Amino acid sequence: MPSFKITLAYDGTDYAGWQRQASGATIQGLLEDALRGLDERDVTVTGAGRTDAGVHALGQVAAFAIERMLTADSVVRALNARLPDAVRVLAAAEVPPSFNPRFGARAKTYHYRIWNGDVISPFERRYAWHLAGALNVDAMREAARLLEGTHDFAAFQAAGSETKTTVREILVSRIADCGLRIPDRGLRSAECGFPSGSAFRVPDSALLEYEITGTGFLRHMVRAIVGSLVEIGRGRQPVGWIPHVVESRDRAAAGPTAPAHGLILMRVEYGDSLAAEP
């Protein structure tokens, strides 16, 4: 039975997250339904991580084994023919049966997109949190950097979650402007969640994007961090508030949970070098 690793992208707006559920369409459920038709049997799909309802992905990774002998290219074509347009398999590769996309992952990168302007583009409303009113972006950048390193992130975990440890290592925590009209800062729209030249290019620096890379994440952790950074950007808390929140280990001490639709799983990395694999 050949085993395959696939990389997929999806618009999570209309789905109840990654994990198959008793009710509601999910990404895992759609893949398993497509594979059932392809392999004429039940096939279990394992993902690199669970994305919540409304969260998007440009680089989710999953794996499965099938009995039908197919090439990787054939797997891509066959699955895309059976999946809705909002879910696309970008690449496939045959891997050893021992490959586990969750436990083999060395790092994951998420982007969270904030539209900071009076009016949000209709092309962005499904993929960015709309915040009118000025934000102190420099303060948000400074606070974001304080989260790099190994910390106990219990204060940013969804209430009621269960995990063996809430300690996580954050490799990158930064905010970039994604607008086109800021050449003096040397920033490019390609740094942001959608590629340069797409319909999502943004004028007048309306778009901010938070990038975070870590070896693992707690449930709602990125969204709770973003909600806390926005509290600082709005002037409701100082930059030095962040270390106190971390030390508290208390979810009530942190900011609100940012909406799901601004969050994108960008990539999952494997291997000692942390080089992203297709």
Residues serving a catalytic function are 52
Inter-axis angle of helices 241-248 and 221-233, nearest 10: 150
Helix (H) / strand (E) containing 133? none
> How far is residue 144's CA from residue 239's CA, in Å, rounded to a whole number?
9
Alpha helices per DSSP H over 11-151: 27-39, 72-82, 137-145
Tokens of residue 269, six digits? 């990395």
Helix (H) / strand (E) containing 243? helix 241-248
CA 233 vs CA 96, 114, 125, 140, 230: distances in Å: 47, 12, 21, 6, 5
Torsion sign, CA atoms 37, 101, 152, 262: negative
Determine the distance from the C-alpha atom of residue 155 to the mean position of all C-alpha atoms in its chain, rounded to a whole number.
20
